[in-house]
């Protein structure tokens, strides 16, 4: 057995889900004896069998990834409760095991997975999905790549009919149905209340979740972004959101504004000033960066 084959065999065994009692399973997914699998590449010692030595790694893997997943999605846990969240976490990680050198990416596929597995959230599926999307966007905004921002002068000189503006890679635009931004901030606030008992914190979180879950779904548009090394949730007007979405999808500035205003109830006379106001705000936050083609052209001309 070469090193690569050994690594793959070890990984498959270690990533096998634990039993409900948090022990290593006696059989593999294809029905083979885990005792024989362990003995094929792990030697026993004077205290532990091959199976018992492998079980240590199997348990540590699952305890670590479940802990990391829970730290990344406290809002989803608050929405579902501990028992449902644990079931969801185990099912998700079994279907979407870590493929990265960093656990930062562990939850990257959760929103898409939730769309296909609504049963884990029951009647709160829509709320859970909104929260999962927000929490993953929060992770992306926290340490996502940043590129040199366009200045206000760059934007003022841009030809609206031709220019294509790129959003910073760390920005996420979310169309939501529930105010999960407020809910997540409340959940975090309760968890940071050091003097309160755990039972008190849990009651407060359940109260916040229940209040949001009772709301009728309504459109909420949100930008999740980073500024001065901190992550912020910024509510957007519908037209504002659609302009940014259009730019994100490669539309020219002129077409993005035109499409966003097509269904707007905003008075015609107010539109130019409002669009200018939005762009000043976006520019001040450094949301725009040069297109890849323009950066390459500038680099070539300087060479």
Residues 169 and 264 reside in one and the same domain = yes
- Containing structural domain, residue 63: 1-71
Between the CA of residue 295 and those of 159, 197, 291, what are the distances in Å?
17, 54, 6
Task: Report the pLDDT value the prediction gives residue 303, as an integer from 0 to 100.
Answer: 38
Q: Has residue 275 been placed in a domain? A: yes
Work out the burial of residue 114: count CB atoms within 10 Å of its CB; fewer than 13 is exposed, 13-18 middle, 19 or more buried: buried
pLDDT one-digit tens code per residue, 265-292 = 999 999 999 999 999 899 999 999 875 5
Task: Report the pLDDT value the prediction gives residue 154, as an integer from 0 to 100.
Answer: 78
> Given 71, 95, 112, which residue is the final one in a domain?
71
Q: Would you say 172 and 140 are in contact if contact means Cβ atoms under 8 Å apart?
A: yes
Q: Is 288 helix (H, G, I), strand (E, B) or coil?
A: strand
Q: Has residue 5 been placed in a domain? A: yes
> Given 24, 51, 71, which residue is the final one in a domain?
71
Which residue's entry shows tokens 């059989």?
27
Residues 61 and 170 reside in one and the same domain = no
Residues 271, 273, 275, 281, CA torsion sign: negative
Q: Would you say 80 and 94 are in contact if contact means Cβ atoms under 8 Å apart?
A: no
Average pLDDT score over residue span 158-175: 88
The mean pLDDT value of the chain amounts to: 91
Residues 292 and 162 reside in one and the same domain = yes
Q: Would you say 174 and 137 are in contact if contact means Cβ atoms under 8 Å apart?
A: yes
Average pLDDT score over residue span 169-192: 94
Residues 162 and 303 reside in one and the same domain = yes
Q: CA neighbours within 13 Å on the CB side: how many for 285?
A: 21
| DSSP bridge pairs for 175 | 221
Between the CA of residue 99 and those of 105, 126, 186, what are the distances in Å?
8, 27, 32
Task: Report the pLDDT value the prediction gives residue 298, as an integer from 0 to 100.
Answer: 47
Q: Is 17 or 192 the better-scoring residue by pLDDT?
A: 17
pLDDT one-digit tens code per residue, 87-139 = 999 999 999 998 899 999 999 999 999 999 999 999 999 999 999 999 999 99
Residues 163 and 277 reside in one and the same domain = yes
Residues 244 and 153 reside in one and the same domain = yes
Residues 67 and 160 reside in one and the same domain = no
Residues 157 and 273 reside in one and the same domain = yes
Which residue's entry shows tokens 């930062």?
104
Task: Report the pLDDT value the prediction gives residue 299, as an integer from 0 to 100.
Answer: 44
Whether residue 300 is predicted with pLDDT greater than 50 in this model: the reply is no
Pair of tokens at residue 168: 């910073």
Q: Per the structure, how many domains does the chain have?
A: 2
Pair of tokens at residue 52: 């018992």
Task: Report the pLDDT value the prediction gives residue 195, as an integer from 0 to 100.
Answer: 59
Residues 25 and 154 reside in one and the same domain = no
151's enclosing H/E stretch is none
Residues 62 and 171 reside in one and the same domain = no
Residues 173 and 269 reside in one and the same domain = yes
Q: Would you say 123 and 214 are in contact if contact means Cβ atoms under 8 Å apart?
A: no
Q: Has residue 280 been placed in a domain? A: yes
Q: Has residue 51 been placed in a domain? A: yes
CA-atom Rg of the chain in angstroms: 24
Task: Report the pLDDT value the prediction gives residue 202, as an integer from 0 to 100.
Answer: 82
**pLDDT > 90: what percent of the chain?**
78
Whether residue 42 is predicted with pLDDT greater than 60 in this model: the reply is yes
What's the rounded Cα separation, in Å, for the pair 139 and 155?
28
pLDDT one-digit tens code per residue, 214-243 = 999 999 999 999 999 999 999 999 999 999
What's the rounded Cα separation, in Å, for the pair 218 and 198?
32
Q: Has residue 172 been placed in a domain? A: yes
**pLDDT > 70: what percent of the chain?**
93
Pair of tokens at residue 252: 């020219």
Q: Has residue 113 been placed in a domain? A: no
Q: Has residue 129 been placed in a domain? A: no
Q: Has residue 86 been placed in a domain? A: no
Work out the burial of residue 110: count CB atoms within 10 Å of its CB; fewer than 13 is exposed, 13-18 middle, 19 or more buried: buried
> Given 16, 41, 71, which residue is the final one in a domain?
71
What is the four-CA torsion angle of 292, 294, 296, 300, rounded to 10 degrees? 180
Confidence of residue 1 (pLDDT cuts 50, 70, 90): confident
Pair of tokens at residue 217: 């779904």
Residues 159 and 264 reside in one and the same domain = yes
């Amino acid at each position: 057995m070469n090193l690569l084959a050994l690594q793959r065999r070890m990984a498959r065994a270690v990533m096998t889900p634990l039993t409900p009692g948090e022990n290593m399973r006696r059989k593999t997914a294809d029905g083979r004896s885990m005792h024989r699998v362990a003995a094929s590449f792990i030697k026993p010692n004077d205290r532990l069998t091959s199976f018992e030595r492998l079980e240590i790694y199997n348990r540590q893997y699952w305890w670590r990834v479940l802990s990391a997943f829970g730290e990344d999605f406290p809002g989803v846990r608050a929405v579902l409760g501990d028992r449902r969240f644990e079931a969801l976490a185990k099912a998700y990680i079994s279907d979407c095991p870590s493929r990265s050198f960093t656990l930062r990416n562990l939850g990257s596929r959760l929103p898409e997975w939730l769309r296909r597995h609504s049963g884990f959230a029951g009647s709160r599926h829509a709320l859970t999905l909104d929260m999962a999307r927000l929490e993953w966007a929060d992770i992306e905004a926290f340490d996502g790549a940043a590129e040199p921002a366009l200045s206000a002068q760059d934007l003022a000189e841009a030809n609206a009919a031709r220019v294509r503006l790129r959003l910073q890679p760390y920005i996420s635009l979310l169309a939501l149905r529930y105010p999960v931004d407020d809910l997540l901030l409340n959940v975090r606030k309760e968890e940071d209340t050091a003097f309160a008992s755990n039972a008190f914190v849990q009651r407060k979180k359940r109260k916040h979740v229940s209040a949001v879950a009772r709301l009728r779904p309504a459109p909420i548009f949100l930008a999740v972004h980073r500024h001065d090394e901190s992550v912020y949730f910024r509510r957007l007007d519908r037209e504002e959101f659609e302009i940014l979405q259009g730019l994100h999808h490669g539309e020219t500035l002129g077409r993005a504004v035109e499409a966003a205003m097509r269904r707007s109830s905003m008075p015609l006379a107010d539109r130019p000033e409002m669009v200018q106001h939005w762009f000043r705000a976006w520019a001040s936050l450094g949301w725009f960066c040069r297109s890849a083609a323009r950066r390459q052209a500038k680099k070539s001309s300087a060479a």
